[in-house]
Amino acid sequence: MSPALLPIARPLREHGPALLAQVPNPHEEVLAMVWGPRFDREHALWLWSRLSRLAPGAAVPVLPELLATADRYDAMDLTDQRRVRRLIMRHRALCGAAAGRVM
């Protein structure tokens, strides 16, 4: 992975499971936050508020990382932002293909 994308990927990997717990389509939620040229902080804060109601202790460390990730995303050039979206869509496709496999 490109070093430019690590500041976005690391917090999502670390805090994503808590932030996206019990949402039906976690990839869609992440894509909603990064679909445009600016990080959708309103959507991110909605997800965080869900987490804070379900698990207040788990929500505390997530908020500063979420806001820092938003700032880092906004500072990325458009090429890197598109790459982030493509990687999320590729991950979604891989997860969907893995779920459809019969063992």
| Tokens (6 digits) for 41 | 């902080």
Residue type, 4: A
Ranges of each domain in the chain = 6-100
The pLDDT value recorded for residue 62 is: 93
Measure the N-to-C terminal CA separation of the chain; round to a whole number of Å.
30
Q: How many Å apart are CA 67 and CA 98, to the nearest integer?
A: 32
pLDDT at 100 over 60: no
Q: How many Å apart are CA 96 and CA 98, to the nearest integer?
A: 5
Q: DSSP letter at 77?
A: -
The pLDDT value recorded for residue 5 is: 80
The pLDDT value recorded for residue 4 is: 72
Tens of pLDDT along 22-74?
899 999 999 999 999 999 999 999 999 999 999 999 999 999 999 999 999 99
Q: What is the reported pTM?
A: 0.85
